[in-house]
Amino acid sequence: MPSENSNRALALEAVADPIETYRSAVATTAEEVRGFLAAHRDDETDDQSTLAAELGSFGAQRIDMDRFENLLSGSRDKEEPDTLRKVEKAFTVLRTFAAAGNDGFHVKVKRGARLREVVAVRLSEIGRGFAAARIAGLAALGALRDGQAEALLAPLGFDAWNKGERRLAPPLVVELEGADLCAADLAEFLDGSVKMVLVVNGDAPPAPLVRLITPSTFVLQTTDPADLDRFTATEACAVAALMPSGAARFVHDPAGGRSLRDRLEIFQLPDKPPRKKLGGLSAHQQNEELEQLRALAEFSAAPEPAIGTPQAHAHEVTSVEKLGAWLLTQTDLNGVE
């Protein structure tokens, strides 16, 4: 069985591409902000080599340092010193995010903590990058108002992210104990292009992720890290869980088709129902999740109903005729011509 450390490494590997996409976008935005600052202040020491050094190997390899030189040839009118200071703060935030390692995309839930709260805090911290970009954009438009920068540079909760930001949302790898896995806690964060991998340790409910199945959300619950290949390949908003042995294994892939029969594949169901409470979930609640998955399995395995076929219609007519015949036997027709 893979160790917790190896599962964490495999999970981070599964989200490597969206992490790179996010970093590239942040690094590009940082370069745009650098151009704005260079075009509106006297200090010209913030040259390309300095920026490349500050962004580290990631920036040096991925940023076209000449891409935004047209910004430098624009107006050299100085902005108000206070505005420039605000933009410099935003630039510092963006530069830090662009140079950050994978630790910023991994979080461990302390035993007994609420999953929703931990994820919300980490996404709020990541949201500071979007907030910094907003500040720079407002400054470039001359629309940055007094006191606005301080509020925007604070952590920005996921509920305040706009549609574009949710599409650029970086992924998260979340480690937690199975007793703390309340999948419903994640529902509000599954939007846009959010990708999340849960590395679940210890005893866990058998089918917690069944609560997250919706038509456009990729949901994977597995005990085999090799299954993460499908998670990596999907373009949908996605959540996956690497579970302890004995848990249910299934995948819900929106790319499979419009029907749930086409989207849902169930590979394994536990033989025995849960017997004990785990964290805040009673055995009954855990069993309800398992029974819901079992019902979906039966639905997916059943043949497509023949709606509107001659056979179905014939059955309906037969029922009507039987009812009509019974009514006639109960009716006194004496005296009716």
Cα 14 from Cα 232, distance rounded (Å): 5
Q: What is the pLDDT of residue 155?
A: 83
What span, in angstroms and rounded, lies between the C-alpha atoms of 314 and 39? 80
Q: Is the CB of residue 220 less than 8 Å from the CB of residue 241?
A: yes
Which among 130, 137, 138 is positioned nearest to 161, based on CA atoms? 130
What is the full per-residue pLDDT of the chain (337 aa) written as tens digits? 466 678 888 999 899 888 888 888 888 888 888 888 888 775 544 445 444 444 444 444 444 445 434 433 443 345 567 778 778 888 888 888 888 778 889 999 999 999 999 999 999 998 888 888 887 777 777 766 665 556 666 788 999 999 999 998 999 999 999 999 999 999 999 999 999 999 999 999 999 999 999 999 999 999 999 999 999 999 999 999 999 999 999 999 999 999 999 999 999 999 888 999 999 899 999 999 999 999 998 988 777 766 554 444 445 445 555 545 544 455 454 554 4
Torsion angle, alpha carbons of 220, 225, 229, 231, to 10: 30
Cβ atoms of 156 and 127 closer than 8 Å: yes
In 156-295, the DSSP E strands lie at 172-177, 195-201, 217-222, 237-242, 249-252, 264-268
Instruction: Give the torsion sign (CA, 177, 183, 186, 192).
Output: positive
Calpha distance 329→11 (Å, rounded): 71
Q: Could you give the C-alpha distances from 246 to 183, 209, 272, 287, 299, in angstroms and in order?
A: 18, 15, 10, 14, 23
What the block records as the tokens of 9 is 């490494």
The contacts of residue 229 (CB under 8 Å, 6+ apart) are none
DSSP 124-174: HHHHHHHHHHHHHHHHHTT---TTHHHHHTS---GGG--HHHHHTPPPEEE
pLDDT of residue 93: 84
Model-wide pTM > 0.85: no
Question: Could you give the CA distance from residue 293 to residue 295 in angstroms, rounded to a whole number?
Answer: 5
pLDDT given at position 320: 54
pLDDT of residue 310: 46
Q: How far apart, in Å, are the Cα atoms of 77 and each of 39, 149, 250?
A: 8, 21, 60
Which pLDDT does position 151 carry in this prediction?
61
**Best CA proximity match to 92, nearest among 138, 29, 39:** 29
